Structure 1
Amino acid sequence: MRLARSAVLLAVFVCAACGLVYELALVALGSYLIGDTVGQASIVLGVMVFAMGIGALAAKPLQHKAAAAFAAIELCLALLGGLSVLGLYAAFAWLDLYGPALIATAFVLGGLIGAEIPLLMVLLQRIREQAAGSAVADLFAADYVGALLGGLAFPFLLMPVFGQLRGALVVGAVNALAGMALVFTLFRRDLGRRSRAALGAASVAVALCLGYAYVVAHDFEVTARQQLYRDPVVHAERSRYQEIVLTRSLPLVSGGVTDLRLFLNGDLQFSSVDEYRYHEALVHPALAGSRANVLVLGAGDGLAVREALRYPDVATVTVVELDPAVVALARSLPDLRALNRGSFDDPGYASCTPTRSAGCAPRRRATTR
């Protein structure tokens, strides 16, 4: 009996973690696509908490079939939660319906999450009757600790390892597995033959949907991301801190000009057509006086460093950049290296050849921290 109660509380723990990940995934996607982090968080959390109350009330008539209802809710939550980021991305990229879609998604997910607790309470009490206060304490302790796990797993595990789209799909699979494992082991006798067959078939269908979505998620993201930018995307990656996207236009008819643009979390950082205006105005007035050692805060693209190294009396340039991935890109991508003129390379070796390398010595150095 103690083992059975522990299994129910473990299911509460896992479901709570999954529920919080769904919330964080919606907030993160909205912050990336819209940019208003406070507004997106307020909408998602407000709507979901409200819907959780509605879901808890809606679950009251289902308590006499708690096991089957809980299994069905977990399958719906796994499918909709796992596909939520994909669907919202599509709504933003192609349908221009992101706002209404976000509210509807948050409401449905919140309602399903809210319906879990009353049903789990019934299942917990079926194992062994206990005082209501004690049962609520056990249930909510597992729920809140699970929420902590979900809150930590999202930024430190799911996003770095799986990414935004696939991370939600993985959580959906875990959610379905936890719900089905609980119902088909401890509460199998509470299910009729038809219920077992229906839930088994639904489990297979959900697994196939989530699996297929996982396989095509990368291609979908590439296609959807391209919809967000005017020019072809030539590089895209999600670093620990942000999404980095580089686009390059096809040569314009007038003069064959190519426009290279850098976007961080969807915000334009520079356009190669006119970035020199900004960087010249930024750097040269500041270097009108003494300039032996230069400190640059940010500017991981190397364009400000390029301007600073125009002065022969500049000995060192130190760049302090939050995201090492931006600096790595500025050093490795040929188009960006051409634009910043290899500013992160030591110019003292710029004119050296293999036959003359013994006589070369570094004159200036650009370093990053």
Structure 2
Amino acid sequence: MTVTAPPETVAAAPALGRRSRVLLLAAVAACAACGLVYELALLTLSASLTGGGITETSLIVAGFVAALGLGALAAKPLLTRAAPAFVAVEVVLGLVGGVSAAALYVAFTFLGSSTWVLVLATAAIGMLVGAEVPLLMTLLQTGRDTDAADTGKVLANLNAADYAGALIGGLAWPFLLLPAAGLIRGTALTGMVNLVAAAVAALFLLRGHLKPVARAASMLALLVAAALLGTLLVRASDIETTSRQRLYPDPVVYAQRSQYQEIVVTERSGDIRLYLDGDLQFSSRDEHRYTESLVYPALARDPQRVLILGGGDGLAAREVLRQEGVREIVQVELDPAVLELANTKLRDLNGGALEDDRVDVVTADAFRWLRERGGDGFDAVIVDLPDPDTPTLGRLYSTEFYGLVGAALNPGGLMVVQSGSPYSTPDAYWRTVSTVASVGLGVTPYHAYVPSFGDWGYVLAQAGPAPTLALSPSAPPRRFLDDATLAAAAVFPLDRPRRDLEPSTLDRPRIVDDMRRGFER
């Protein structure tokens, strides 16, 4: 049995030479890399803007795969004009993919929602990528009489190039494009690569397959698309700055996208605020309320060796260093960019705490560090991590994590966890309390009012019975927390009663859904 391209295509153009087929497969790899980068960029933005979790990620990936199939079906009428159709698909894909991140970002900041842009971008990119394979299969077989085995070889080569390109794109996005260029510029640069692949195909590989009018139209479209993406590259900083400012009530004085998150500092009338991925971490006007409530109950027994997990802004370390008798602090922070910020723009707030000789700063994932740590235990552990609104953060609020934290405590040691709001996210708060208790620790929940956060909750824990909330007799002077305030902190109103919930685990990160339900109320 022989298999050929559609007869109209065979009659219209000669077969591609071996060299041209190899170069076309290279173009396939480049286009596949671009297609995956676009989808990874959409996933990254979804997580950054809305805290996209498992549900959102699954819907995006499923929608993209479904669109691949629709694109392949939609390409069937184009197979008789495969060459101009392929060039057109790559031009449109380069343009749509190149502007997708900017469009999503602008829609979210100016309209308050980016769902419809995300759906349209996912569908469009998926369909365009899906149309590539049947068009390329037709081009690679044009003018050749092939049997089934040869057709299988062509398909194998095409799939190999496609998957190799996807691998390149999957590595390029997190390790090169995102850290070096950012979301908007990274996708725009990827769009440029798509256009270059289309230009090479139009000018060289498929020159004999394109009529002069089609070739001229292709080049005009390429130039227009390149001009638009070039403008986006030049204006990316302005677009990002203008859009970002609309997300925050105060002027943005510092912004950086690190390997792990977007870091933003705002300031108005002396009020400095830190945001990580859009979530407020502190306001300098009232951070003393949050920090004192977090730190001093854990220092009630005059610890000498203290572990701080998270809290890379240095505010918790500042208060621990004020406590008499503290000889060593181990500060574990994931993001080097946060530590750099703490030692520069936030230094006046934290008093240079992270540069104190008693502080050993470790840049590491808290979960991994606890699993691999050696040496002595700690007299107190302060867990000051961001709220668990993503699966990545949810693992740091799991039974498995708190088991590791408990194992790091010396006998008689105390551990405290910032646990979110018992008012705004009550399920998440009480889930944290239940999860800490699930590892066999006695727990004492308490809360304090922080104006910039609202009613904020914590949980104090130890091996054995529930610990009593108290302050050390040697505690330094404080601005907010005293014995009476701390005693009242253990009392919860009738409309916010204690709840006994199933713990959150690595297998069932229930707390992530708790956070989302709380935010949506």
> TM-score, normalized by length of structure 1?
0.90
Give a deviation string over 1:77-123, Cα, whole Å, max 9, x none: 00110000001111111123411111011111111111111100011
- What is the CA–CA distance in structure 2 between the aligned matches of 1:39 and 1:48, rounded to whole Å? 14
Higher strand share: 2
SS of match in other structure, 2:331: strand
Preserved contact between residue 87 and residue 202 of structure 2 (Cα < 8 Å): yes
From 347, 369, 372, give the equivalent of 1:337. Answer: 347
CA deviation after TM superposition for structure 1 residue 222, in Å: 0.6
1:228 aligns with 2:247: yes
Select between 281-290 and 159-168 the one with higher mean Cα deviation. Answer: 281-290
Q: Which residue is 1:133 aligned to?
A: 152
Preserved contact between residue 242 and residue 265 of structure 1 (Cα < 8 Å): yes
Q: Which residue is 1:275 aligned to?
A: 287
Q: Which amino acid aligns with 1:8?
A: L
Q: Which residue is 1:300 aligned to?
A: 312
Give a deviation string over 1:37-89, Cα, whole Å, max 9, x none: 32332232122211111111111111111110100110000011000000111
SS of match in other structure, 1:368: strand
- Coordinate RMSD, CA, aligned: 1.4
- What is the CA–CA distance in structure 2 between the aligned matches of 1:3 and 1:367, rounded to whole Å? 59
Select between 120-129 and 16-25 the one with higher mean Cα deviation. Answer: 120-129
Give ranges in structure 1 of 5+ residues lacking alignment. Answer: 252-257, 347-363
- What is the CA–CA distance in structure 1 between the aligned matches of 2:145 and 2:329, rounded to whole Å? 70
CA deviation after TM superposition for structure 1 residue 339, in Å: 1.6
- What is the CA–CA distance in structure 2 between the aligned matches of 1:30 and 1:174, rounded to whole Å? 23
1:90 aligns with 2:97: no
- What is the CA–CA distance in structure 2 between the aligned matches of 1:102 and 1:189, rounded to whole Å? 38
Give a deviation string over 1:140-173, Cα, whole Å, max 9, x none: 1111111111111100010111111100011000
Select between 201-210 and 93-102 the one with higher mean Cα deviation. Answer: 93-102
Select between 304-313 and 288-297 the one with higher mean Cα deviation. Answer: 288-297
- What is the CA–CA distance in structure 2 between the aligned matches of 1:280 and 1:128, rounded to whole Å? 77
1:11 aligns with 2:23: no
Give matches, 1:87-166, under 5 Å.
87-126=103-142, 128-130=144-146, 131-166=150-185
Describe the shift of the 1:298–1:129 C-alpha distance in structure 2 as closer, same or farther (beyond 3 A): farther
**How many residues get paired?**
343
Describe the shift of the 1:299–1:7 C-alpha distance in structure 2 as closer, same or farther (beyond 3 A): same
CA deviation after TM superposition for structure 1 residue 312, in Å: 2.9
Preserved contact between residue 121 and residue 135 of structure 1 (Cα < 8 Å): yes
Preserved contact between residue 82 and residue 139 of structure 2 (Cα < 8 Å): yes
Give matches, 1:37-52, under 5 Å.
37-52=53-68
CA deviation after TM superposition for structure 1 residue 127, in Å: 6.4
From 170, 182, 204, give the equivalent of 1:185. Answer: 204
CA deviation after TM superposition for structure 1 residue 316, in Å: 2.1
SS of match in other structure, 2:51: coil
- What is the CA–CA distance in structure 2 between the aligned matches of 1:4 and 1:341, rounded to whole Å? 64
- What is the CA–CA distance in structure 2 between the aligned matches of 1:176 and 1:127, rounded to whole Å? 26
Describe the shift of the 1:210–1:299 C-alpha distance in structure 2 as closer, same or farther (beyond 3 A): same
Select between 52-61 and 287-296 the one with higher mean Cα deviation. Answer: 287-296
Describe the shift of the 1:247–1:127 C-alpha distance in structure 2 as closer, same or farther (beyond 3 A): farther
- What is the CA–CA distance in structure 1 between the aligned matches of 2:153 and 2:355, rounded to whole Å? 65
SS of match in other structure, 2:338: helix
Q: Which amino acid aligns with 1:132?
A: T
Preserved contact between residue 27 and residue 37 of structure 1 (Cα < 8 Å): no
Describe the shift of the 1:5–1:328 C-alpha distance in structure 2 as closer, same or farther (beyond 3 A): same
From 326, 348, 361, give the equivalent of 1:314. Answer: 326
Preserved contact between residue 305 and residue 326 of structure 2 (Cα < 8 Å): yes
Percent identity, aligned pairs only, is 50
SS of match in other structure, 2:300: coil
- What is the CA–CA distance in structure 2 between the aligned matches of 1:120 and 1:228, rounded to whole Å? 43
Preserved contact between residue 4 and residue 127 of structure 1 (Cα < 8 Å): no
1:367 aligns with 2:367: no
From 208, 227, 232, give the equivalent of 1:213. Answer: 232
Q: Which residue is 2:402 aligned to?
A: none
- What is the CA–CA distance in structure 2 between the aligned matches of 1:328 and 1:291, rounded to whole Å? 27
- What is the CA–CA distance in structure 1 between the aligned matches of 2:250 and 2:55, rounded to whole Å? 29
| Greater C-alpha radius of gyration | 2
- What is the CA–CA distance in structure 2 between the aligned matches of 1:183 and 1:233, rounded to whole Å? 45
Select between 52-61 and 312-321 the one with higher mean Cα deviation. Answer: 312-321
Describe the shift of the 1:58–1:69 C-alpha distance in structure 2 as closer, same or farther (beyond 3 A): same
Give a deviation string over 1:294-344, Cα, whole Å, max 9, x none: 2211111000001101123212222111111111111111xx222212212
- What is the CA–CA distance in structure 2 between the aligned matches of 1:320 and 1:95, rounded to whole Å? 38
Q: Which residue is 1:242 aligned to?
A: 261
Higher helix share: 1
Preserved contact between residue 86 and residue 135 of structure 2 (Cα < 8 Å): yes
SS of match in other structure, 1:285: helix
Give a deviation string over 1:180-226, Cα, whole Å, max 9, x none: 20232121121111111111111111111111110000111011011
Describe the shift of the 1:129–1:31 C-alpha distance in structure 2 as closer, same or farther (beyond 3 A): farther
- What is the CA–CA distance in structure 2 between the aligned matches of 1:338 and 1:285, rounded to whole Å? 25
CA deviation after TM superposition for structure 1 residue 272, in Å: 1.8
Q: Which residue is 2:473 aligned to?
A: none
SS of match in other structure, 2:231: helix
SS of match in other structure, 1:296: strand
- What is the CA–CA distance in structure 1 between the aligned matches of 2:64 and 2:143, rounded to whole Å? 30
CA deviation after TM superposition for structure 1 residue 8, in Å: 1.7
Q: Which amino acid aligns with 1:277?
A: R
From 94, 99, 114, give the equivalent of 1:78. Answer: 94
- What is the CA–CA distance in structure 2 between the aligned matches of 1:26 and 1:108, rounded to whole Å? 12
Preserved contact between residue 202 and residue 215 of structure 2 (Cα < 8 Å): no
CA deviation after TM superposition for structure 1 residue 129, in Å: 4.5
Preserved contact between residue 53 and residue 114 of structure 1 (Cα < 8 Å): yes
SS of match in other structure, 2:253: strand
- What is the CA–CA distance in structure 2 between the aligned matches of 1:217 and 1:170, rounded to whole Å? 11
- What is the CA–CA distance in structure 1 between the aligned matches of 2:243 and 2:25, rounded to whole Å? 39
1:263 aligns with 2:272: no
SS of match in other structure, 2:285: coil
